[in-house]
Amino acid sequence: MPDWTRTTLELIVQELQQPVRVDESFDRRVMVRVRRMQAERRPRGAAGWVGAAVNLSRRPAYAAALAAGVVAVVTVGMLRSRPQTVAGSEPIPVQFVLVAPEARSVTVVGDFNNWGLGDTALVAENHNGVWSVSAPVPAGVHRYAFLVNGKQWVADPTAPRAAGDDFGQPSSALVVEGTPE
């Protein structure tokens, strides 16, 4: 079995072994619902209510089945809510800012615009030396850099560094959090 398959299975098993956390009113709400169901099947009256409660408490199989159902629903919900759904959300507006009073031009290029190939670079506007541009960026992790005067590569001083300047130039990392679909 490949390592990644074993790792995947371990993670899934680990997730399934997690205790199911429910709020404090869960027991009460479940019991109210169960009693209501029992009441619909039994003759109305005090004897019926008492009988239903006693009946449930004496049959742990019901509780086990209920717990298994809750675990299944919660687990499916967990797996469905994995980060992939976030990655598919709409692009989020991001503002890029670089303070460069001496610059004549500043553009922003990165993974999100194919590093400016095909004239896709974001052109920043100069506000007395504070260059900025806003653009929608897809959720996810991106590398990017500022290109000053069309030739000087500058990392964003306010952002995490992207590890590995493979091409001898600095770059930064941007993590855009999406909103679940």
Footprint of other proteins on this chain (CB under 8 A)? 2-12, 14-15, 18, 78-79, 81-84, 86-91, 109, 111, 114-118, 138, 140-141, 143, 153, 158, 160-164, 166-169, 171, 173, 175, 177, 181
Instruction: List strand residue ranges (DSSP E) for 116-170, in order.
Output: 122-123, 125-127, 130-137, 140-148, 152-154
Nearest to 109 by CA among 134, 132, 143: 143
Structure tokens at 86: 């976030």
CB of 104 to other proteins, least distance (A): 19
User: What's phi and psi for 53, nearest 5 deg?
Assistant: -65, -45
Q: Which is nearer to other proteins, 34 or 87 (CB)?
A: 87
Cα-Cα end-to-end distance for the chain: 34
Q: Which is nearer to other proteins, 46 or 117 (CB)?
A: 117
Tokens 């709400």 belong to: 29
CB of 46 to other proteins, least distance (A): 41
Q: Which is nearer to other proteins, 41 or 151 (CB)?
A: 151
CB of 130 to other proteins, least distance (A): 19
Structure tokens at 3: 């390592």
Q: Which is nearer to other proteins, 56 or 86 (CB)?
A: 86
CB of 141 to other proteins, least distance (A): 5
Return d(Cα 52, Cα 88) in angstroms, integer: 48
Q: Which is nearer to other proteins, 51 or 91 (CB)?
A: 91
Q: Across-strand partners of 132?
A: 97, 125
CB of 41 to other proteins, least distance (A): 39
